[in-house]
Amino acid sequence: INDNLNEYHKYTKKIVVPTGDMPDSLIFCPMMIGERIVGVITVQSFEKFAYDPHHIHVLKTLGTYTAIALENASLVENLEDKVKERTKEVVRQKEIIEESNKHITDSIRYAKRIQEAFLPNEYSISELLVNAFILYKPKDIVSGDFYWIERKQNKILFAVVDCTGHGVPGAFMSIIGFNGLNQIVNEYNYTRPADILTHLNKSISNTLRQRVEDSKIRDGMDIAICSIDLETKKLEFAGAFSPLFILRNNDVIKVKGDKHPIGNFVGVQEYEFTNNEIDLYSEDRIYIFSDGFADQFGGPHGKKIKHAHFRKLLLDNHKKPMPQQKEAINTFFEEWRGSFEQIDDVCIIGVAV
């Protein structure tokens, strides 16, 4: 409109000016996004014929840019609202997860107390194994490795047991294994290591089969178990995928265990384990262990310690007092591990004759 006074009646019956004078020239340009009007932009002048098509084109362009800017601002505002809502939801879910994790961790810590309660305490260990050490390093709060010590008449029996897995699954298996050993020795009165493993294999297999009939379950444990006759100084040993090391005269004597696990294959219950009898001599050192030490990654090239390195470590330290041996072995392990995560539970028993 370039002459408002003469042209307004084409569009409206009456002009109401809220304040000031009535303009003579006006441009009203809709601001559109697609076919949707998001606003109107206007310029006005008190001069007649103030605007030509160029001004209209400029205003249309400005209107388009303004409409896009308004739309973007609206999208950003909506996006910010959605981000705030999503952030609140994430925080809420995080709090739920943290609370759930706390309950789980509290439960696992309580399970640790239960597991520690059935492990022999330091007093029992020192009473039964006068000159010995036990290095016990769970990977997680609870462990799939455990040690077991018992006296029966004139014999001291001790074992290192490595259950399938670690953490909570391994801890459940450790309770089954610990109770099985106690029952076989204290109720059934077996003291011969091979007999203990043979009966434990049957017991674990039956226990697991009762829970999962006809399954392909492969849970079980590797064990090294020794019996020392306090009168004859004779050592008996049996192993289920676990060896025995005897250090004598600066040499390592390796007594292999059977290549058969405990309870690992449901239904294979009639296996008879081998009983090894060894005469002990003064200053002999006896070591049984799980595989967690040798399997640890680390060192300068990120490799496993392996049994050869472990044997050398024992050779270098076996003449030291048992507490110093334990400290040396633990220090080596931690230095080798460095920044690497501990990959498995570790359990080592060393006994001086």
Could you tell me the pLDDT band of residue 31, with boundaries at 50, 70 and 90?
confident
Q: What is the pLDDT of residues 181-235, one digit of tens each?
A: 999 999 999 999 999 999 999 998 887 774 445 555 567 899 999 999 999 999 9
Q: Give the pLDDT mean for 294-320.
A: 96
Dump pLDDT digits (tens) for 255-297: 999 999 998 654 555 789 999 999 999 999 999 999 999 999 9
Q: Are residues 41 and 188 in the same domain?
A: no
* Count: domains in the chain: 2
The reply to whether 102 falls in a domain is: no
Residue 176 falls inside a structural domain: yes
Q: Is residue 86 part of a domain?
A: no
Q: Give me the mean pLDDT over the 73-84 stretch.
A: 85
Are 188 and 66 found together in one domain?
Answer: no
Domain residue limits at 65: 4-75
For residue 103, is it within any domain?
no
CB 49 within 8 A of CB 3: yes
Q: Are residues 177 and 264 both part of a single domain?
A: yes
Give the end of a domain, one of 75, 93, 111. 75
Task: Output the pLDDT for position 248.
Answer: 96
CATH number of the CATH domain containing 327:
3.60.40.10
**Given CA atoms 100, 105, 108, 109 in this order, what sign does their dihedral have?**
negative
pTM of the predicted model, to two decimals? 0.74
- pLDDT at position 73, please? 84
H or E element: which one contains 63?
Answer: helix 53-118
Q: What does the pLDDT read at residue 323? A: 96
Distances, alpha carbon 186 to alpha carbons 175, 182, 190, 191, in Å: 16, 6, 8, 9
How far, in Å, CA of 33 to CA of 64, rounded? 8
Does 112 fall in a domain? no
Are 26 and 163 members of one domain? no
Beta strand ranges found along 107-154 (DSSP E): 132-137, 145-152
**255: nearest Cα among 271, 272, 277, 273:** 277
Q: Does 243 lie in the same domain as 155? A: yes
Say whether both 179 and 303 belong to one domain: yes
Instruction: Tell me what pLDDT residue 216 has.
Output: 56
Flag the least confident range among 60-64, 150-154, 244-248, 319-323. Answer: 60-64
Chain mean pLDDT for the chain: 89
